[in-house]
Structure 1
């Protein structure tokens, strides 16, 4: 199948923000007396909404209290998130290769759009990413297909030539609900076996195996040891 539109999840697909996410959750949870939650438990909630994540981690279901947790998390993230988020080694080269081939590129995430842009602006020129749909842009979070279908509509894309790439079963469910092909990436904590339970084009441990890329492996970018302008 030939794809001309590639839509990506963000966390654990294009970037590793787990250090920042764990830190922000840890600070909020500790402040509220939840000291027994493990890092692994926090990481397993990545990709869910903040309300869902805090409910799973604390057992709290009261909407007002969950809203307070969310507000505290966002305040922590304003300080700690971007500086503790890093693109995976192949991300920059893969997105650049796709863009050079004429493909359209988008991101659909539960993360706030402005925070995604804050990181990507360090690596890509303005307008490089064709569309970013953040958590604030939809009424229903993934696995609802709302965000994915919105991006497809805005890009005037065809479902048959659109591939959605993500790392979690939530992403797989989102692609299935939207009626588009799915590629699973095992950058995160979701296993290959968990992803394989859903319809998929491929499951890989690297973005370099996405269809439409050259058959050879893309060169890894040189190590970065300083501040990007």
Structure 2
């Protein structure tokens, strides 16, 4: 990987910058209970995360003992989204994320978000955690007609930043993110503690990774070695 400063750094959100699974799990179970069903386990709901809210709810509905018609499915999804728009209390940043973002911004790197989470809950969570000002643009799962792993959302970020894909880095936690980066021609850094379904080695073998990291201090150190520091004139 060869990049030059300032290198845009584009982040996935859930499982990459934030651990949102507790809020997602709680909101799923509140929605299920409102429809008269019992809750699902944390591990089961967590395994459904990654392809956006419609896919998540489709998987949730698939666990129910009786089938729902199309209208009921749409109602269930809308009720989940309405509740999740402001579900932020159980969501937290992964260790050293805030310091990494500040370091990257201070060194001149444009920062952006490309996530399958809908834009409204994305903005709510960024504001709640006090990190909204780091990111421009923010592309969510409902910003375009397609979601990751289609490369269109990531390409939309690159276009907004007027950035050559070869001079950008996408940071994510899953097969979906790695596939998206590969399709867009963007180098990929894999955070090892997110919501991936297979091993880091398997993801690297299938899609390629410029970096696999356990802590965000490793990410900033890696980027620092690839780009010259910003110095005062």
TM-score interval w.r.t. the shorter chain?
0.7 to 0.9
1:13 matched residue in structure 2:
16
The yes-or-no answer on 1:94 pairing with 2:100 is yes
1:72 matched residue in structure 2:
79
2:218 matched residue in structure 1:
209
2:33 matched residue in structure 1:
30
Distance 1:36 1:117, change over 3 A: closer
Contact 1:92 1:123 in 2 (8 A): no
Cα distance in 1 between the residues matched to 2:138 and 2:145: 15
Matching residue within 187, 197, 203 for 1:195: 203
The yes-or-no answer on 1:181 pairing with 2:184 is no
Q: Give the paired residue count.
A: 214
The yes-or-no answer on 1:128 pairing with 2:137 is no
Contact 1:172 1:182 in 2 (8 A): yes
1:163 matched residue in structure 2:
169
My pick for the range that moved more, 93-102 or 42-51, is 42-51
Cα distance in 1 between the residues matched to 2:68 and 2:218: 41
1:148 matched residue in structure 2:
154
Contact 2:95 2:215 in 1 (8 A): no
TM-score, scaled relative to structure 1: 0.84
1:108 matched residue in structure 2:
114
Cα distance in 2 between the residues matched to 1:43 and 1:125: 24
Structure 1 stretches lacking a partner, 5+ long:
216-229
Structure 2 stretches lacking a partner, 5+ long:
227-233
Distance 1:200 1:63, change over 3 A: farther
Cα distance in 2 between the residues matched to 1:200 and 1:75: 36
| Aligned-pair CA distance for 1:25 | 1.0
Distance 1:126 1:142, change over 3 A: closer
Cα distance in 2 between the residues matched to 1:202 and 1:125: 24
Cα distance in 1 between the residues matched to 2:203 and 2:190: 6
Contact 1:195 1:203 in 2 (8 A): no
TM-score, scaled relative to structure 2: 0.82
Contact 1:2 1:212 in 2 (8 A): no
Say what the alpha-carbon RMSD is for the aligned residues. 2.3
Distance 1:125 1:206, change over 3 A: closer
